[in-house]
């Protein structure tokens, strides 16, 4: 079978990236413009060769009355002539033509439609008509906005979301030539000439000027994107390996914790990528996250303050807590102003505010061991205790005599010395007896209530 030079390029891209597997159902996004028409025409030629089927999907944004209707009819007629199924969609919510970020909103609606169509049609791939010129424009836009290798790598030929771009290595000029030589008509979108949009200004004004300096600009930018993408994938893989060695994400994606010590040792490019990956894992994406956010977080590694908080877009919070760097979403969950329970005897008691149980038990001296199996178990001289015991949260000015010391010390300072995070300090409960702080669970008991040689009765206190 003989193929046009453009068709050969598309077929080569399909093979090189394993874009379509045998038996695949492919949603082809067709707007009616030259790129999408070329995409549909070339792919339809390969259906029998590669053993896949095509479903034509057209989305009407509703932004150009009259023109949109003609495009829909045009795409429908092409699908009918090729004997292909036709799926039509419109925005679920009308897009405000005069509102801000109209391009972004239109794009979101279009991609939502394509994703839903993929699922409803039990399909495996979504084919998009982005070409080499689109790639060059994308690289330039990212460069102008400020970016690293990831941004300069442009659009992927195939990605994890099942999008494929078979025309990515075909120029706009080649596409027009192909369509003209095959007497194939197409529609022209009037919005492509609206200079309010950055991409249009680049295409109509900046790129023509740059071409006068470098006629092969489009090809060079495309080649650079190709190289950058492979370098980006390599560095991303290395960063992912390093992140796994320093990550504690026991909450399954809702939060993530990195070892500050290990992160400091990572090379700068890997360090930045680890931070980006951590944000993406918790947030789901890195939209609205820019270079300044990454550098601010990286700055925490060398900041001498033991605890610092950085608020990121969409409620994401990054905290340096001593030797940990945590990524989590801010929460409105707070403890009441005051926690106050009075325990009149031994037994098991539930503290609703903390979700913990307190177990008090009298034990004999024979059962006592000075070496506790847990820092949340304490042994106190029961003869020195006057019931009831009070359980409360930390208060300003609290002080006690830590076991092993001779004088009073502020509870707050003890918590700081033990590197207890600020938010955990607020949750710390205190055991109080006769106005004395006698035990801070997880930290230490008061020297005055320790077990002595003359102690007769022992109270075992445990937090569960």
Q: What domains does the chain contain, in order, with CATH numbers?
A: 5-225 (3.40.50.620), 246-329 (3.30.465.60), 340-463 (3.50.40.10)
Give the span between the Cα atoms of 41 and 438, in whole angstroms.
81
Mean pLDDT of all residues belonging to the chain: 90
pLDDT band at 251 (very low <50, low <70, confident <90, very high): low
Q: Which of 139, 120, 142, 118 is nearest to 128 (CA)?
A: 118
CA distance 205 to 198: 10
Residues found in the chain: 464
For residue 379, list its beta bridge partners. Answer: 460
R_g of the chain, CA atoms, integer Å = 33
Average pLDDT over residues 412-439: 85
For residues 214 and 242, is the Cβ–Cβ distance under 8 A?
A: no
Look at residue 51 and tell me whether its pLDDT is greater than 70: yes
Q: How crowded is residue 224: how many other Cβ atoms within 10 Å of its Cβ? A: 16
Mean pLDDT for 209-222 is: 97
Q: What is the pLDDT of residue 394?
A: 86
**1 pLDDT exceeds 80?**
no
How many beta carbons lie within 10 A of that of residue 451, not counting itself?
Answer: 16
Q: How confident is the model at residue 12 (pLDDT cuts 50, 70, 90)?
A: very high
pLDDT value of residue 337: 52
pLDDT of residue 226: 97
Q: Is the pLDDT of residue 102 over 90?
A: no
- Structural contact between residues 165 and 155, judged by C-beta atoms closer than 8 angstroms: yes
How confident is the model at residue 258, as a pLDDT? 94
Span 148-175, mean pLDDT? 95
CA–CA distance, 352 with 60 (Å, rounded to integer): 54
pTM equals 0.71
- Would the pLDDT of 395 be above 90? no
pLDDT band at 106 (very low <50, low <70, confident <90, very high): confident
Mean pLDDT of 164-187: 97
Mean pLDDT across the stretch 360-374?
Answer: 83
pLDDT at res. 148: 87
- Arithmetic mean of pLDDT, 276-280: 93
Q: Can you tell me the mean pLDDT for 237-251?
A: 84
């Amino acid at each position: 079978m003989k193929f046009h030079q453009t068709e050969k390029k598309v077929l080569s891209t399909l093979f090189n990236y394993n874009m379509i597997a045998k038996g695949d159902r492919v949603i082809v996004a067709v707007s009616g413009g030259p790129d999408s028409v070329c995409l549909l025409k070339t792919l339809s030629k390969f259906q029998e060769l590669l053993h896949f089927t095509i479903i034509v999907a057209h989305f009407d944004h509703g932004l150009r009355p009259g023109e949109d209707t003609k495009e829909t009819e045009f795409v429908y007629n092409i699908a009918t002539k090729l004997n292909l199924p036709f799926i039509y969609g419109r925005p679920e919510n009308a897009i405000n033509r005069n509102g801000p970020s109209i391009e972004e909103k239109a794009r979101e609606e279009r991609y939502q439609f394509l994703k839903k169509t993929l699922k409803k049609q039990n399909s495996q791939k979504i084919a998009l008509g982005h070409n080499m010129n689109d790639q060059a424009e994308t690289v330039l836009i990212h460069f102008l906005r400020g970016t690293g290798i990831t941004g300069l790598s442009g659009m992927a030929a195939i990605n994890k979301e099942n999008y494929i771009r078979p025309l990515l290595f075909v120029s706009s000029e080649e596409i027009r030539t192909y369509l003209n030589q095959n007497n194939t008509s197409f529609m022209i979108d009037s919005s492509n000439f609206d200079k309010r949009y950055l991409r249009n200004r680049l295409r109509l004004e900046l790129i023509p000027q740059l071409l006068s300096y470098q006629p092969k600009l489009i090809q060079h930018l495309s080649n650079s994107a190709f190289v950058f993408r492979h370098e980006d994938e390599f560095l991303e893989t290395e960063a992912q390996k390093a992140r796994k060695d320093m990550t504690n994400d026991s909450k399954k994606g809702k939060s993530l914790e990195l070892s500050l010590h290990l992160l400091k040792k990572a090379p700068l490019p890997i360090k930045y990528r680890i931070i980006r990956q951590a944000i993406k894992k918790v947030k789901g994406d890195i939209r609205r996250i820019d270079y300044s956010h990454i550098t601010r977080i990286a700055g925490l590694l060398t900041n001498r303050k033991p605890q610092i908080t950085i608020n990121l877009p969409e409620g994401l919070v990054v905290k340096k807590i001593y030797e940990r760097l945590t990524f989590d979403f801010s929460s409105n969950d707070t403890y009441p102003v005051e926690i106050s329970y009075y325990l009149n005897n031994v037994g098991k008691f539930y503290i609703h505010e903390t979700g913990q149980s307190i177990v008090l038990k009298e034990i004999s001296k024979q059962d006592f061991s000075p070496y506790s199996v847990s820092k949340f178990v304490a042994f106190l001289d029961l003869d020195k205790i006057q019931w009831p015991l009070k359980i409360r949260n930390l208060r300003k000015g609290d002080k006690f005599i830590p076991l092993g010391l001779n004088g009073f010390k502020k509870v707050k300072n003890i918590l700081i010395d033990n590197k207890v995070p600020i938010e955990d300090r607020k949750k710390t409960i205190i055991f109080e007896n006769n106005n004395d702080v006698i035990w801070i669970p997880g930290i230490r008991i008061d020297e005055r209530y320790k077990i002595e040689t003359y102690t007769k009765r022992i109270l075992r206190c445990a937090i569960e």
